[in-house]
Structures are given as C-alpha cells and as structure tokens.
Amino acid sequence: MILKVENLHFSYRDMPTINGVNLTLPEGGMLAVIGPNGAGKSTLLRLVSGILNPKSGNILIKDRPLCEYNQIRLARTITMVPQDSRVDFPYTCREFVMMGRYPYLGLMGWETDGDRRIVEESLASVGADHLSDRRLEELSGGERQRVILARALAQKTPLILLDEPISHLDIGYQVESMELLKKINRDQGIAMIIILHDLNLAARYCPDLLLLYKGEVLAQGKPGQVLVPELMKTAFNVNAKLEKIPGWDSPVLLVESTGRKT
C-alpha cells in the first residue's frame, strides 16, 4: 500500500475542513478525488503531501508515518503538482523540468549526466522533447501541461498528487492530458491522486473515485458505485442517472436537472 489515511481531521481557524477522512491507495493505483466546491479536496492533497499538518489522524506512506519523513526523503516519495504552476522567470522547458531533480542534486546543486538524462527521458515520455529549448511562457496550455507533468516525472517518485491538472484546458487538451496520465500510470506504475471536476472524465480514466462532501468521505469505490443518483443528489444537489454506453468500460453520468432554486 503506497498510502493509507486514517481518521484524518483538519481545521482552518476552528472551522472543520477535513473531518474523519479514511482512504487507501495501492502501489500503482489511480484515484480521482471528486466533490463540490469547498468539499476539502485541495486541503486533503496538501495534508497528504505534507504541506499542511493534520489536527489529528494518521497519514502513512509505505506503512511509515508521514511525520517521520524529512524534507528530502519526502520529496523523493511524493510529487505535488498544484493548480497554478506559474513561473516568474523565463526558464526554458529543459531548465523547468530540471527543477524536478532538486531532491537529488546535493548541497552544491550540481547537475550530473544522470540528471540530464532523466530530464530528457521525462520530456520524451510526455511527447515534449521537441519543446526542450522553448520558453515556458511561449507554450500553449496543452504543451505547458505536458512540460509540468515532465517535471513531476523527473522527480522520480512512486506517488504523484495532481490538483485540478486539466481545469484550464479545452476539452481536447483535457482528454489528451488524461490519456497521458493513464498511460504513465499504466506503463510506469506510478500511483496518482487527481482532483477532477469533470465526473465523466474521472469515471472514464480513473478506476477508483473518492467522493468528498463537507470534508467527509461519502463514498470510495468504482465509478458505478460512487456516481449513483442518491450520492449525486447529496453532494451536488442534482438529479442524475447513470447510462451504460456500448463499448465503454465506465458508465456515463447524465444530469437531468438541478435541485437549486432559480
């Protein structure tokens, strides 16, 4: 098991944000975290990554408490890809991806031939090797997302956390990005937790879903177990149904109406 979270609690200014969350993720697993705005999705990822400290509960990485990891060891175990990966300096894509090697560069921060090889391999694995010498600000949204993912891969961790990685992309780039994440998960065995707002993309590409609502887990399981009408009504206040599409492994969620007054 790469990750185990037990009875996790966290509050902002005495306002509960995460309330008794439990979850597990096996080695090489791929989990989508879904839920309405304010459900605690980003907070959960920040807790798992060590950015925030829980009020109570346990986070175990490879059966070892997160609090026992020092900064370097944690950076060699978990990669966090935040919503906004803005860079204020005119780095080339190669220089940007090299930032993912920081846990391995030592006190002097010198790059080795091995580091440079990993950077080139990471760019190639996401189909961005032709962008190596381009500056990050020159890229399209889809190209930029590939380079951001290449930096995450260059960090060489068994677990990657992605906070809404496709939220600013059009539907074509969203599908392209999810296809790429699925391929990396399948071919390299890297476990992933991904926050997604598009429930159908989550169901299509992630074998397991975690539904958060008001900081609590409403359900965790296969898409057909989580995207059920009763839970969608509770979490999103919508009337919805699941449809099975011939040739698709996952069901499709159709929203018929909202329970909100207009």
SS3 per residue for 218-252 = EEEECHHHHCCHHHHHHHHCEEEEEECCCCCCCCE
Task: Work out the percent of the chain whose per-residue pLDDT is above 70.
Answer: 96
Residue 239 forms part of a structural domain: no
Region of poorest pLDDT, from 32-41, 80-89, 98-107 = 80-89
Domain boundary among 156, 177, 199: 156
Residue 182 has a pLDDT of: 95
Task: Work out the percent of the chain whose per-residue pLDDT is above 90.
Answer: 75
Report the alpha-carbon distance of residue 255 to residue 106 in Å, rounded.
Answer: 52
163 and 151 part of one domain: no
Residue 256 forms part of a structural domain: no
Residue 27 forms part of a structural domain: yes
164 and 213 part of one domain: yes
Q: Averaged over 157-180, what is the pLDDT? A: 92
Report the alpha-carbon distance of residue 210 to residue 184 in Å, rounded.
Answer: 21
Asked if 136 contacts 147 with a C-beta cutoff of 8 angstroms, the reply is yes
Question: Which CATH number belongs to the domain containing residue 56 in this structure?
Answer: 3.40.50.300
Q: Which residue has the tokens 């080795």?
A: 112
Task: State the DSSP code for 2.
Answer: -
135 and 194 part of one domain: no
115 and 141 part of one domain: yes
Global confidence as pTM: 0.92
Residue 103 forms part of a structural domain: yes
Q: Tell which phi-psi region holds residue 223, choosing left (phi > 0), alpha (psi between -120 and 50) or beta.
A: alpha
72 and 94 part of one domain: no
3 and 67 part of one domain: yes
Residue 20 forms part of a structural domain: yes
70 and 174 part of one domain: yes
pLDDT digits (tens, 9 = 90+) for 63-96: 999 999 999 999 999 999 988 767 767 889 999 9
120 and 28 part of one domain: no
Residue 194 forms part of a structural domain: yes
Residue 218 forms part of a structural domain: yes
Residue 188 has a pLDDT of: 93
Residue 195 forms part of a structural domain: yes
138 and 201 part of one domain: no
Residue 110 has a pLDDT of: 84
Phi, psi angle pair for 33, to nearest 5°: -100, 120
Looking from the CA of 127 toward its CB, the CA atoms found within 13 Å total 11
64 and 167 part of one domain: yes
Q: Which two tokens stand for residue 116?
A: 């440079």
137 and 151 part of one domain: yes
72 and 188 part of one domain: yes
Q: Which two tokens stand for residue 25?
A: 């993720």
Domain boundary among 132, 156, 180: 156
Three-state DSSP at 28 gives coil
Q: Which two tokens stand for residue 23?
A: 């979850």
> Domain tally for the chain?
2
Looking from the CA of 90 toward its CB, the CA atoms found within 13 Å total 3
Determine the structural domain holding residue 126 and report its residue range.
89-156
Does residue 259 register a pLDDT over 70?
A: no
